[in-house]
Amino acid sequence: MCGFVCLWNIGDEALASAMITRIAHRGPDAVAVVRAENAPVVMAHCRLSIIGPQDGAQPIYQGKDILVANGEIYNHADLRAILGESAFETKSDSETILHLFRTDALRWVSQLDGMFAFVLATPERIIAARDPLGIKPLYVATIGEGLAFASELKAFDGIEVASIRAIPPGSLFDSINGMRRWYRMPQGAAEAEPGLEEEAVWRELRLVLEDAVRKWMVADVEVGSFLSGGLDSSIIAALAARAAPYRLKTFSVGVEGSPDLVAARRVAGHIGSDHHEHAFTPADVAAVLPHVIYHLESADVDLVRSAVPTHFAAALARRHVKAVLTGEGADELFAGYTYHHAYVDRPRELADELTRSLGTMHNINLQRVDRVTMAESLEARTPFLDRDLIDFAQTIPATMKLRRTDPQGGDSTGPTTEKWVLRKACADLLPRELVWRKKAQFDEGSGTVEALGEALMIVTGASRPLDREEEAAVYERLLRERYADPDRILANAGRWESGRVALAG
């Protein structure tokens, strides 16, 4: 995990150094700036060492090619075996990118399995690519006749650029051949096919989940797990506790006595984790709010609300580990949000909405997870967004994800149960009352919404709670105060409610 900057046809090492300094929080273990001898490129990198900590320094400069990468390649051991171990000079998982490129295979980037963003330069061309869902960020800007790439928008702050945009998820940019989409989200299924055995579906889902968690725990350092006490993080933590060769460390935050803290404590006791928790106050929220918004690179109300507890969880976890697992993505895969209930009798629209929301996570919830954890030099991993798990989950009919039933099954007129198939697949992992606990947003279950209300009164000096419009204005003001070019940041920010599939009739 790390951050990087790359300048193509812009021979300015001082600029690269200034840009990497702005995102140095992403990699406190080492910082390097390198000008290539055989290519018109300057690369800068800040490193958080997770795999190959002894010899995995970047940029990776071999022959006439140079590479910077951010993220993790989880199938790097398999790729090494295929490509030939003798070709490798380091133990870094990122080096597999360079050797895959050199095979000259037409779709070489599709062989990478993980979360990643990278820029690779040769004397003739520059190539930049991003993982399927955009878990890892990557931006490109035009500066004069050259191109500048960076892991966060704040790297460009105060720099005159002609244009700036994100490399789309699952896309590859080639200075010779232009942009292409190498990954497309599979369309979600709506209705069950005739003869489908539901038990067979959730049993297979459990196996795919277990594989994903094991894969996303690959590291040369200990990996912990966020644990909110909700279904998603509890499932991940329970599976990780079984897979880890050490006692898993789990981390929970909330206001004193909040439902999340109570539930997380119960889950931790059940799975036997080494549990750590932190209770925050409205005064704590008020103190960190400018920091959170600056790093989030967004003033969207819903994102800020969920970013605040993420910040406290990340700060807590970083005192103990360098990497954590999170439950991000389960709501988008299995219909876990409250607004999904409106689609309960419209499986086609629900399947389409889940597919849409998966494709837009990169500048919404995934942006929150990446920016806020990396602000604390912590790597967040999202096993629910494993490619194999996504492929399988998208074949599960929407009627098995959200349905009218009670936990016992069979009542088609009962209350709407979200993530039904996921609950069935993991029913044996956790106490029954936790498996069937009703969904609460992270900001709700942790008590953040109430704490934020008081914190905003502290920040503004208001004598009454702020309404949503006033809350949004405060967040935007705090963002504008921290950036030389705040409009550029706001223009690239996503909105959590934008573009939802409409229900006809």
- Which of the residues are catalytic? 2
In the chain, the largest separation of any two C-alpha atoms, in whole Å, equals: 69
Q: At what angle do helices 231-243 and 198-216 cross, to 10 degrees?
A: 60
Cα–chain center distance at 207: 22
Using CA atoms, how far apart are residues 49 and 27, in angstroms rounded to an integer?
8
Q: How far apart are alpha carbons 207 and 214 in whole angstroms?
A: 11
Residue 403: partners with Cβ closer than 8 Å, 6 or more residues away: 344, 412, 416, 417, 420
Edge-to-edge strands of the sheet including 163-166? 30-35, 41-47, 2-8, 146-150, 139-143, 163-166
Query: What is the rounded CA–CA span in Å between residue 411 and residue 219?
Result: 45
Question: Which residues contact residue 409 at a Cβ distance below 8 angstroms, ignoring those fewer than 6 apart?
Answer: none
- Dihedral sign from CA coordinates of 406, 365, 208, 313: negative
443 marked as part of a ligand binding site: no
93 is in an annotated binding site: yes
What interhelical angle do 468-482 and 301-318 show, nearest 10?
60
The 3-state secondary structure of 272-302 reads: CCEEEEEECCHHHHHHHHHHHHHHHCCCCHH
Helix 301-318 with 448-460: angle, nearest 10 deg: 100
Residue 84, classed as helix, strand or coil, is coil
Distances (CA, A) of 84 to 61, 76, 89, 132, 314: 19, 12, 11, 26, 38
E-assigned strand segments in 303-449:
323-325, 379-381, 403-404, 416-417
Distance CA 66, CA 95 (A): 10
**Residue 180 token pair:** 């292409």
Distance CA 326, CA 40 (A): 39
- The CA-atom distances, in angstroms, between 162 and each of 7, 165, 195, 264, 385 are 14, 11, 57, 48, 34
Residues at the binding site for ATP are 253
Residues at the binding site for L-glutamine are 93
